[in-house]
Amino acid sequence: MKKDFLTLKDYSKEEIKYLLDLSGKIKKDKNSYSKVLEGKNIAMLFDKHSTRTRLSFEAGINQLGGNSIYLDSKNLQISRGETYQDTAKVLSKYIDGLVIRTYSQEIVNIFAKYGTIPVINGLTDIYHPCQILADMLTLKEMELLNKDLKFTYVGDSNNVTNSLIIGFSKLGIDITIGCPQKYSPPEEIIKYARNQKEGSKLNLVYDPVKAVSDADVVYTDVWLSMGDEKNKQKLTDLKSFQVNYKLLKYSKEEVKVMHCLPAHRGQEITSEVLDGKNSIVLQQAENRLHAQKALLVYLYAD
């Protein structure tokens, strides 16, 4: 039976921990599992621009012995009306796996339902599970991924926020979301997290100072996601949630700052913080490669 990676909801606590352990082993030995994808072609179907997702998957597939094929939906028959169902069935005859970076989660679900090959969610408007695997790996490396962690995400609630909430609730680790009330996570994500049985707490805090108070880690992401660039009101609403050293003085002295990139310097985070001694952003970015290689090994190794 094929395995997919559509959202962290589908993965157990034990599976997530296994992926993180495997990611660490692969990071220590770049040449490990170098033949897992030998003779296999993995396509990447992208509707959105990408730097880290595309490069980390292409490099990872190559390092595991496979061949990557980049597909732009604008150049496929999808753009002329061919259904996703038909495309999924046809692609399954040619390739051995598919990474999708698109808008609607439903598109990813259709490919998984009608295709016979593993499907990986490289990003949708609702979820970004590959990013969160890399984030959790980064925290694990720093010996922070435990029940004592005070983790705060500040800013606009988006696909990264949703997947962070799901991942942390799966592991039983508390998470605080600091944002204006109208930019809170979707109710279905809040309910999902609070229905988990691992004992984690999801705290919604509408004051930026209270949100980051005594935090070990402060995480932020862009305020204007792709397709939302003209929303000037949001910039005004989120201004007090900018991650800068004035705000960070309320967190722990050795607070670690995370951002999944790309960053809009001067909006959600200042360059001073992004490039500063508290930043572990580049470690996050590097870990996309190792976490995704571990995912590919998990999906394809016998």
Structure tokens at 101: 């970076």
Catalytic residue ranges = 101, 128, 131, 221, 260, 288
34: Cα separation from own chain's centroid: 24
Q: Is residue 210 within a helix (H) or strand (E), and if so which, with residue range?
A: helix 208-212
3-state percent breakdown (helix, strand, coil) of the chain, nearest 5: 45, 15, 40
E strands, the chain, in order: 41-46, 67-72, 97-101, 119-123, 151-154, 175-178, 202-205, 217-220, 256-259
The strand pairing partners of 123, in sequence order, are 101
CA distance 255 to 124: 30
With tokens 């959105």, the residue in question is 48
- For residues 145 and 236, give the distance between their C-alpha atoms in angstroms, rounded to a whole number: 33
